[in-house]
Chain A
Amino acid sequence: MIKLFKIRGGVHPQDRKQLSANQAIENLPLPPLLHIPLQQHIGAPAEPLVRRGETVLKGALLARSQGAISAPVHAPTSGRIMGIGGFPAHHPSGLSVRTITLQPDGNDAWVDHLDPVADPFTLQPDDIARRVAEAGIVGMGGATFPAAVKLNLRNRYALHTLVINGAECEPYLTCDDRLMREQPDEVLDGVLILARGLGVERILFAIENNKPEAFAAMNSAAHAYSQVEVVGLPTRYPMGSEKHLVQTLTGRETPARGLTADIGIVVQNVATALAVHEALRHARPLISRVMTVSGGAIRQPRNIHVPLGTPLSSLIDFCGGFKQKPARLISGGPMMGQPVPSIRVPVVKGSNGLLALTEEEVRLRSEMPCIRCASCVHACPCGLLPLDMAAQIRVGSLDASVNLGLLDCIACGSCAYACPSHIPLVHYFNYAKGELAARQRAQHKQNETKRLIIIRKARMEALKQAKHEMMMKRKRELATAKQRNTETPSTEVGA
Chain B
Amino acid sequence: MIEERPAPGPYTHAGTSVNRIMLLVMLALAPATLLGFYLFGWPAILLFLTTLLTAVLAEMLALKLAGKPVRKFLLDGSALLTGWLLAMTLPPWAPWWTGAVGALIAILIGKQVFGGIGQNLFNPAMVARVVLLISFPLEMTLFQQPLPLCSASAPGFIDSLAISFGNYTPVDAVSSATLLGQIKTELGRGVPFDRAALDAGSLWRSSWGDVAGSMGETSALLLLTGGLLLIYKRIITWHIPCAMLGTLALLAALFNLIDPVRYVDPLTHLTSGAAVLGAFFIATDLVTSPVSRQGQLLFGAGCGLLVYVIRTWAGYPEGVAFAVLLMNACTPLIDHYLKPRIYGRDSKGEPLNYVESASGDER
Contacts and interface: CB of A to CB of B under 8 A. Distances in A.
B1 interface: yes
B76 A368 contact: yes
Interface stretch (B10-18, B102-110, B147-155, B254-262): B10-18
30 contacts: A252-B354, A255-B352, A328-B7, A334-B10, A334-B11, A335-B12, A336-B9, A341-B2, A342-B2, A343-B2, A355-B11, A362-B13, A363-B13, A369-B116, A369-B119, A373-B286, A374-B292, A375-B16, A377-B291, A383-B342, A385-B291, A385-B292, A416-B8, A417-B10, A417-B14, A420-B17, A420-B18, A422-B17, A424-B8, A426-B10
A105 interface: no
B123 to A, nearest CB: 12
A343 B8 CA distance: 19
Contacts of B76: 368
Interface of B: 1-3, 6-18, 20-21, 72, 76, 78, 116-119, 237, 286-289, 291-293, 335, 339-345, 349, 351-354, 363
Contacts of B9: 330, 334-339, 413, 416, 426-427
Given A368-B18, A371-B118, A405-B342, 12 more contacts: A11-B14, A334-B9, A334-B11, A339-B9, A368-B17, A372-B287, A373-B21, A382-B344, A383-B340, A385-B339, A426-B8, A430-B8
A253 B340 contact: no
A418 B235 CA distance: 12
B340 A339 contact: no
Contacts of B11: 328, 330, 334-335, 337, 355, 357, 361-362
B324 to A, nearest CB: 15
A388 B332 CA distance: 11
Interface in A239-294: 243-244, 247, 252-258, 262-263
B345 A408 contact: yes
A48 to B, nearest CB: 30
B6 A339 contact: yes
Contacts of A363: 12-13, 15
A255 B355 CA distance: 11
Nearest to A329: B2
A375 B351 CA distance: 25
Given A255-B353, A256-B343, A339 B116 contact: no
Interface string A326-355: 111110001111111111000000000001
Contacts of A374: 286, 291-292
Which residue among B2, B13, B340 has the maximum number of chain A CB atoms within 10 Å of its CB?
Answer: B13
Contact of B1 (A14, A243, A326, A380): A326
Contacts of B349: 405
Contacts of A372: 118, 286-289, 291
A336 B10 contact: yes
A420 B116 contact: no
Q: Nearest 3 pairs between A and B by C-beta?
A: A427-B8, A256-B344, A413-B10
A3 interface: no
A85 to B, nearest CB: 24
Contacts of B291: 372, 374, 377, 385, 387
A403 B162 CA distance: 60
Contact of B340 (A330, A334, A377): A377
A377 B292 contact: yes
Contact of B12 (A171, A365, A385): A171
Contacts of A422: 13, 17
Nearest to B349: A405
Contacts of A413: 9-10
Given A263-B354, A371-B287, A377-B291, A253 B344 contact: yes
A366 B72 CA distance: 9
A255 B351 contact: yes
Nearest to B78: A371
